[in-house]
A and B are shown apart, each in its own frame.
Chain A
């Protein structure tokens, strides 16, 4: 579905600051209907990678082939078409929904933006929005509500419904649960797993929570300073990491297990 080959992004040197290599020869492949995790600490290049994939940044070198066509070389019209196929769900459901728009407007907006392709009449758009609300566990009663009337988990459901509106093949999920409580996170993760199954979606799942990545993803990639440190099936990456960095990072994740208490080590 998506093939990234030798992707690099270098932000050139500016007055007083040296050039920054945000991505350095990154390669990976996401198969259709699979979930691919990208893990890394702040500054590792996760965000630059997503910005390149949705055409917000031009990579310095390398290719990003989405069904055989390089995303960086698309014409503006082709890029728009491609963006209907790859949608994004943002991290912070408090910041990514316009407080002045109702749920109907928020979820319906992509249907208007891609109107030339979808050709949905106004009543058909409303029907589609209701269908999407139900798909993500909300309902027609939520249609005219505004973001402040929803809890964090419900807002993230709206963010997911908006991303699904134009029937994409792939979702980029940028830390979709890091702003949520664990109980709500579990609901959202299960919703994402169910949606992936029933809608045959591919996920590019960005997270610093390795437990979540392991739960949702089939394969994962670990980035450090823009370089790929580990790549493979999640079990291999997490149970048999090859690099010291990955081993240290995995050891640093606090598991909900009293056996790893610092008090036992002393």
Chain B
């Protein structure tokens, strides 16, 4: 049984404009030691998929329809808030995009970290010995993520850290409870490329050493190529292609995956020849039938608009939800 399995997950959100259908049957599995890149354009539902795994989407306004999320035997969507609190930070760690807004500027790094450490230890936070141990753990974890002189830096405030250092602190906080699953939502988007490279290497080492699973949400395909073992491409609330990263990147089969890969300028791309993708993501408020990508797809034909294409298996777990998969554009 996979560590994490998301099955046919549906999610809608009620707003003043009506009901937006955000997730339309997300299927995803993740094993220990795997780093799965979840990619797609803004608004495709990748962040909400990540938040759903730790049940951080407040409902209402959100409403889960069909589908389930299983994490190591736990039925996440059936869990109470108290049961989730026992999982978050201990079994499931999270890192978010912007390291400048995820640390409280008024508290020392140490206070914020020890707080998380105490929670993850499940210890009485007023016990001196637990506090001492939480401090020791925090120092050890900061050193592990590459912060030197950690026992002095615990007394620093967030503004005394650079962006890359703050992201390291957040990674340390996410890992301090020794989680089995790490959800990283755009962890390097706000960082410079050289810092990004360091953070990717750090995540890579942690996965190898601790044998944890990572769901990496990003729109940067280069980051996926560098770090991920697997990739899942999302479009309008559904995963339209997934598999081993090298299989998908070397042999993209869905027209959308091809278009995304073709939109990134590489060394060989000549000026003016970059393939943009016309049109825009579909409106989640509008009812729809058939393949959501059909309006932007050069290969679309009448039957694409009739029914949602089922996922076809191309071997080695490479799945693609397109009836024209493999046909060249």
Contact = CB atoms under 8 A, between A and B. Distances in A.
Query: Do A and B interact with each other, yes or no?
Result: yes
Nearest to B163: A42
Interface string B255-287: 000011111111101011011111010000000
Most A-side CB within 10 Å, residue of B163, B259, B267: B267
A182 B219 contact: yes
Contact of A211 (B163, B245, B250, B265): B265
A208 B163 contact: no
B274 A186 contact: yes
Contacts of B227: 254, 261-262
B245 A254 contact: no
B222 interface: yes
Nearest to A197: B272
B193 A214 contact: no
Give the contact-size bracket for chain B.
35 or more
A254 B276 contact: no
B196 A254 contact: yes
B266 A211 contact: yes
Contacts of B41: 181, 183-184
Contacts of A258: 225, 245-246, 249-250
Given A152-B42, A252-B196, A262-B201, A184 B276 contact: yes
B274 to A, nearest CB: 5
B274 A215 contact: yes
Interface of B: 41-42, 163, 192-197, 200-201, 204, 208, 219-229, 245-246, 249-250, 259-267, 269, 271-272, 274-278, 280
14 contacts: A41-B192, A41-B195, A153-B280, A186-B277, A190-B272, A190-B274, A238-B267, A248-B194, A255-B225, A258-B225, A258-B245, A260-B226, A261-B246, A263-B229
Contacts of A255: 222, 225, 266-267
A261 B194 contact: no
A261 B225 contact: yes
